[in-house]
Amino acid sequence: MGKTQYYIPVGPIHPALKEPIRVEVEVEGEKIVKVDVKRGFAHRGIEYMGMKRNAIQSLYLAERICGICSISHPYAFVLGSEKALGIEAPPRAQYIRPIIAELERIHSHILWLGVIAHEMGFDSLLFWTWKGREKVLDLLELLTGNRINYSVFMIGGVRRDIKESQIKAIKDTIDFYRTFTEEMKNVFLSDPIYKARSRGVAQLSKEMALKLNVCGPVARAAGLRMDIRQDNPYDAYADIGVKAIVPQDIVGEAKGDAYDITLVRLYEIEQSLDIIEFCVENMPEGKIMAIPNYVVLLSRIKKKAGESIGMHEAPRGEVVHYLKYDGTRDGPAVWKVVAPSYNNINTWGSLLLGAEVADIPIVVAYIDPCLCCNDRIAVVKNRDGRVIDYSLIHKKAIEKTMRVKRELGVRE
Amino acid sequence: MRGEQLTAEQVLEKLQEALGEVIISHEIREYTMGVRKKKSYKEIWMEIDKDAFRKTVEEIFKLDYPHLHFITGEDKGGDTIKMIYGFALYHGFPWGQVSIVLKFDLPKSNLVLPTITDLMPGAETNEREIREMLGVEFEGLKNKRHLFLPDDWPEGKYPWRRDEYGVEDMVKHTHKSVNEIRRGE
Amino acid sequence: MGKLYNFKRSLWVFHASGGSCNGCDIEIIAALTPRYDAERFGIKLVGSPRHADVLLVTGAIPRDFADKLRRIYEQMPDPKAVVVVGNCGTTGGVFYDSYNLVGPIDEIIPVDVYVPGCPPRPEAIIDGVVKAWLKIEKLEKQLEGKE
């Protein structure tokens, strides 16, 4: 008695999430008492299509699983294919690949920092971070020919070489991001309002992280030292000896909340810069493709049977591709894709319970959900219920930020 | 929850001790990586008896709390579906992650498997996906709603099946192939 | 390109993502950020189709999304224009033989402008919106003429 429960569907379409997903929550006052996540608004059946096409076509399909991780899926796909088919990429290609992959990590992490700032109501911060992000997109365009969807990886190598003139551009970009990351660290980590809005929000313990099978920055923020580049290294990462970035190494303890994940992502940008620098300085000479002719490559694939797991650490966590070639056709006979958000969305249910309505945007955004990766099919069902649209929740999030600001006595 | 780090050989030995006959065949695959500093890591690939699946998973959980890479299945159009489970032990140890791939045949006449969500709540996503994509029923899985497919998805249609339950008839072609245009279709 | 002279307010845009790969969606957001800054022309992304003049659609439209998309289109006030961003919404693109896609978009709702590319650059998206703007001006003139 006296308790009124409201039902709030969030999504599937609203401007802040950019992608369709539906989170249904029931609230009592401001507290969330029941959560239901409905996925599958972007499922395209990519694995099904890939099992009918040849390996190079499937590689292009893998690239279009997600436009933000548009190098991570091809990376896992080519690694898996190379392991299954016994092809080894030339040393120079093994150094070019991590450069592209790390540039993608930089742009993806900056994108997330902008989104989380927007969710808290700091829109000028969103525009400032995204302005900085354009620089890395420029470099990617210079190296690969496109801002997004680079089409640069191939089974047994890469399709484009890095020239001497481009190396200068890479070095300039690294210098720019050294300063820019320092500035971002200042803005995000020392701002009292940001800290108040993110400390303790979306807190995930180490044990829960294990049980919910999460990966990537979400797991690392909870203190799990897992990173495919460290656990099962490949390409130039094997030479570098990458270490997973966990909050306990930086500030002494891991709380696994939205603040820690910001910390992890910011330090990972610096780590990426180090990796790119190493690769540029130590890049071996030589060819870039093991089998430069695609017809020869496809006929070799057709003759060979094998299966393997291809893994790559994408910006959001591990991308796993299981591939089986059966020796009868030139494409994968079985293809299974597991993207990081597939596992990381598991956290929403438990993290939203007991949280405030104003924290929904932060909890939802903190894993950096990438639903294109996750879903690959779509469903929208209409349900009755009192509809409070997302813009209102976003407004509440901003109001809370303002309230925190007043309570902390921060002047504009 | 985490166990003491073991090598792939030691893991296999422990599993063989605990399971015995159940392991039909096994293989340790070694992959060498790196350009300047070559080093290798290992993966365990096992073919097991389908009735011992749950016991095998329990034994894996005794060694270390694993990370579930994927669950998938292969349908060649015959009477069985080959189920494939990919686990990883000792994630977080440099060069130390040991992937274990379990494979077994599941007859289409009895597509039922015990759930592992009681051991790992996060596996719910994977099991729900396999349930709708291949039609494998998981005993003990609490949430059986569709994950990716629409709630009004037709009964008895499974996208990854290559038999009469497949989805060939639901495919919409938006492009015509060169041959189709030549034939005047 | 014609002159923009008749439109009496800034142009508001609603963005619906229907099973796209996110590439186009990110470029749409990038078009609003300082490098491209579409807002200086008054082009603004809004949260509800009821406020919007132009609908931006990305993706090849999964099975259940078709109905949703029709409803979004119907909610928009006249005069309105639809811009399809990206190859997969235009023709199905790389997802041409999926069991869950019912696109291309012009089979579901009327489309005025196509912006091809995988993904198109932010400049191209802004150009597409401007073309839709011209179309809306024309429609508005017609509507005024009727009254």
A75 and chain B in contact, CB less than 8 A:
no
Same domain flag for A356 and A326: no
Q: Is residue C94, in this structure, part of any structural domain at all?
A: yes
Of B167, B174, B175, the CB nearest to C99: B167
Residues in B closer than 8 angstroms to A212, CB to CB, are 121-122
Do residue B123 and residue A213 have CB atoms under 8 angstroms apart? yes
Residues 6+ away with beta carbon under 8 Å from B133: B73, B158, B159, B160
| Touching chains, B (3+ CB pairs < 8 A) | A, C
- Note down the domain range covering A383: 5-43+342-408
Minimum CA–CA partner of A379 in chain C: C64
The CATH number linked to C22 is 3.40.50.12280
Per-residue confidence (pLDDT) for residue A103, from 0 to 100: 93
Domain boundary residue among A320, A336, A352? Answer: A336
Chain B stretch 11-30, residues whose beta carbon is closer than 8 A to a beta carbon of chain A:
none
The CATH number linked to A268 is 1.10.645.10
Residues in A closer than 8 angstroms to B74, CB to CB, are 324, 333-334
Do residue C23 and residue A49 have CB atoms under 8 angstroms apart? no
Please say whether the beta carbons of C54 and C76 come within 8 A. Answer: no
A-C contacts at Cβ under 8 angstroms: 138
Range C97-105 average pLDDT: 83
Do residue A378 and residue C33 have CB atoms under 8 angstroms apart? no
Do residue A13 and residue C48 have CB atoms under 8 angstroms apart? no
A-B contacts at Cβ under 8 angstroms: 128
Same domain flag for A140 and A262: yes
Please list the ranges in chain A whose pLDDT falls under 50: 1-2, 14-16, 372-387
Please say whether the beta carbons of B93 and B64 come within 8 A. Answer: no
Q: What's chain C's average pLDDT?
A: 84
Per-residue confidence (pLDDT) for residue C16, from 0 to 100: 85
Do residue C97 and residue B167 have CB atoms under 8 angstroms apart? no
Do residue B174 and residue C63 have CB atoms under 8 angstroms apart? no
A284 and chain B in contact, CB less than 8 A:
yes
Number of structural domains chain C divides into: 1
Of C15, C19, C25, the CB nearest to A378: C19
Minimum CA–CA partner of A374 in chain C: C21
The CATH number linked to A353 is 3.30.390
Same domain flag for A274 and A397: no
Q: Is residue A57, in this structure, part of any structural domain at all?
A: no
Do residue C72 and residue A13 have CB atoms under 8 angstroms apart? yes
Q: Is residue C5, in this structure, part of any structural domain at all?
A: no
- Taking only the tens place, the pLDDT of each residue in A364-398 is 777 666 554 444 322 222 233 344 555 666 777 77
Q: Is residue B171, in this structure, part of any structural domain at all?
A: no
Same domain flag for A145 and A112: yes
Of A42, A65, A130, the CB nearest to C62: A42
Same domain flag for A178 and A119: yes
Q: Is residue A48, in this structure, part of any structural domain at all?
A: no
Name the CA dihedral angle for A326, A331, A332, A336, rounded to a multiple of 10 degrees: -170
| Touching chains, C (3+ CB pairs < 8 A) | A, B
Q: How many C-alpha atoms does A243 have within 13 Å on its Cβ side?
A: 8
Per-residue confidence (pLDDT) for residue C96, from 0 to 100: 83
Chain A stretch 125-184, residues whose beta carbon is closer than 8 A to a beta carbon of chain C:
126-128, 130-131, 133-134, 137, 147-149
Q: Is residue C6, in this structure, part of any structural domain at all?
A: no
- Note down the domain range covering B83: 8-155
Q: Is residue A70, in this structure, part of any structural domain at all?
A: yes
Do residue B171 and residue C97 have CB atoms under 8 angstroms apart? yes
Q: Is residue A77, in this structure, part of any structural domain at all?
A: yes
Distance CA B97, CA B95 (A): 6
DSSP H helices, C53-146, are 65-75, 87-91, 122-146
Nearest to A378 by CA among C101, B84, B178: C101
- Taking only the tens place, the pLDDT of each residue in B23-33 is 999 999 999 99
Domain boundary residue among A310, A336, A362? Answer: A336
DSSP string, A240-259: HT-----HHHHTS----SHH
ipTM: 0.92
Q: Is residue C4, in this structure, part of any structural domain at all?
A: no
Same domain flag for A231 and A349: no
Chain A stretch 14-43, residues whose beta carbon is closer than 8 A to a beta carbon of chain C:
14-15, 18-20, 41-43
- Which residue has tokens 């839709």? C132
Same domain flag for A71 and A28: no
Do residue C17 and residue A370 have CB atoms under 8 angstroms apart? no
Number of structural domains chain B divides into: 1
A36-70: b (≥16 Cβ within 10 Å) or e: bbbbbbbbbbbbbbbbebbbbbbbbbbbbbbbbbb
Distance CA A32, CA A359 (A): 10
Q: How many C-alpha atoms does B64 have within 13 Å on its Cβ side?
A: 25
Per-residue confidence (pLDDT) for residue B84, from 0 to 100: 93
Place C4 in a pLDDT band, splitting at 50, 70 and 90. Answer: low
Of C64, C97, C100, the CB nearest to B173: C97
| Touching chains, A (3+ CB pairs < 8 A) | B, C
Per-residue confidence (pLDDT) for residue A8, from 0 to 100: 59
In terms of phi and psi (left: phi > 0; alpha: psi -120 to 50; beta: otherwise), the region of C42 is: left
Q: What's chain B's average pLDDT?
A: 88
Do residue B150 and residue C64 have CB atoms under 8 angstroms apart? yes
Of A231, A236, A243, the CB nearest to B97: A231
Do residue C67 and residue A372 have CB atoms under 8 angstroms apart? no
- C145 has pLDDT over 90: no
Per-residue confidence (pLDDT) for residue A3, from 0 to 100: 56
Please say whether the beta carbons of B162 and A52 come within 8 A. Answer: no
Number of structural domains chain A divides into: 2
Distance CA A127, CA C30 (A): 9
Q: Cis peptide leading into A15, omega within 30 of 0?
A: no
- Note down the domain range covering C119: 12-146
Distance CA A155, CA A331 (A): 12
B31 and chain A in contact, CB less than 8 A:
yes
Cα separation values, A118 from A111, A262, C37, Å: 11, 14, 16
> E-strand spans in A288-388?
305-314, 317-326, 334-338, 377-378
Residues in A closer than 8 angstroms to B149, CB to CB, are 40, 43, 377, 379
Q: Is residue B174, in this structure, part of any structural domain at all?
A: no
Distance CA A106, CA A138 (A): 13
The CATH number linked to B144 is 3.30.460.80
Do residue C30 and residue A134 have CB atoms under 8 angstroms apart? yes
- Taking only the tens place, the pLDDT of each residue in C15-69 is 888 878 888 888 888 888 888 888 888 888 887 888 889 999 988 888 877 888 8
Residues in C closer than 8 angstroms to B178, CB to CB, are none
Distance CA A53, CA C138 (A): 45
Residues in A closer than 8 angstroms to B120, CB to CB, are 211, 213
Domain boundary residue among A284, A309, A336? Answer: A336
Residues in C closer than 8 angstroms to A123, CB to CB, are none
> E-strand spans in chain C?
12-17, 44-45, 54-58, 81-85, 113-115
Q: Is residue A32, in this structure, part of any structural domain at all?
A: yes
* Tokens standing for residue A105: 């990590």
Please say whether the beta carbons of C13 and C72 come within 8 A. Answer: no
Please list the ranges in chain B whose pLDDT falls under 70: 176-179, 184-185
